[in-house]
């Protein structure tokens, strides 16, 4: 008959019971997880805010009408993509493409530049740009806009004659920087060839000129320049 032993079992020598021990997260583990989730959410919001802006062009200082557009005269500022009127403003990519174009109106320091304020110096056919100072009442009441076609009449000693016909308007601006439609000189920039430029210069030097908006009108049938 086996004798019962009174020797105590050593620690860890108990036979397995077959029960699985489940891990329960502590408060510190939960806090670490929440911090990671919060950091991810903040990074996502920052990326979304960064992607919801567009860089537009602002004048670094006063820019006079007729100045060649240069990257040295501007700076870029971000505006929200849902900014009202964003489509009419000059963006970073458009500014790069417009290097060397003509600023057709005075722009104040720190003013946001509209895309329409910068125009090509000439047409694709290599025409020259020429500025014609004229009062609005002698230019279709100031209704002429970029893209229009115009005829130009010279009036000298009471005699009127066509100087050029059906030339394209590159830009329109008030010489003083005021709004269109007020009294005072403003100028219209047209694309002309060398002969038309000479004829216009002579007409402006010898008398007054009248601009007719001829967009869509038939071409003048006359011996212009004769």
- Long-range contact set of residues 66-73: C-beta below 8 Å, sequence gap at least 24: 66/102, 66/103, 66/104, 66/131, 67/102, 67/103, 68/100, 68/101, 68/102, 68/103, 68/121, 69/95, 69/98, 69/99, 69/100, 69/101, 69/102, 69/103, 69/118, 70/99, 70/100, 71/95, 71/96, 71/99
- pLDDT per residue as tens digits for the range 175-212: 444 444 444 467 888 888 889 999 999 988 887 889 99
Q: Is the pTM of this model over 0.85?
A: no
- pLDDT per residue as tens digits for the range 103-145: 877 889 999 999 988 877 655 456 778 888 888 888 888 888 8
């Amino acid at each position: 008959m086996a004798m019962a032993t009174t020797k105590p079992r050593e620690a860890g020598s108990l036979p397995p019971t077959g029960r699985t021990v489940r891990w329960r997260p502590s408060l510190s583990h939960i806090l670490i997880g929440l911090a990671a989730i919060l950091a991810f959410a903040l990074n996502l919001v920052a990326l979304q805010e960064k992607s919801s802006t567009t860089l537009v062009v602002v004048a670094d200082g006063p820019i006079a009408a007729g100045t060649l557009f240069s990257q040295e005269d501007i700076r870029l500022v971000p505006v929200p993509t849902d900014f009202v009127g964003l489509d009419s403003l000059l963006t970073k990519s458009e500014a790069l493409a417009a290097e060397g174009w003509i600023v057709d109106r005075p722009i104040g320091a720190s003013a946001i530049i509209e895309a329409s304020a910068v125009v090509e110096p000439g047409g694709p056919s290599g025409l020259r740009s020429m500025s014609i100072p004229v009062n609005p009442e002698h230019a279709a009441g100031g209704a002429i806009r970029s893209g229009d076609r115009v005829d130009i009449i010279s009036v000298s000693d009471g005699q009127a004659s066509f100087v050029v016909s059906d030339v394209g308007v590159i830009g329109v601006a008030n010489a003083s920087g005021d709004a269109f439609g007020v009294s005072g000189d403003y100028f219209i920039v047209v694309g002309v060839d060398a002969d038309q430029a000479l004829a216009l210069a002579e007409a402006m030097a010898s008398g007054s000129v009248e601009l007719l908006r001829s967009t869509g009108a038939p071409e003048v049938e006359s011996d212009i320049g004769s």
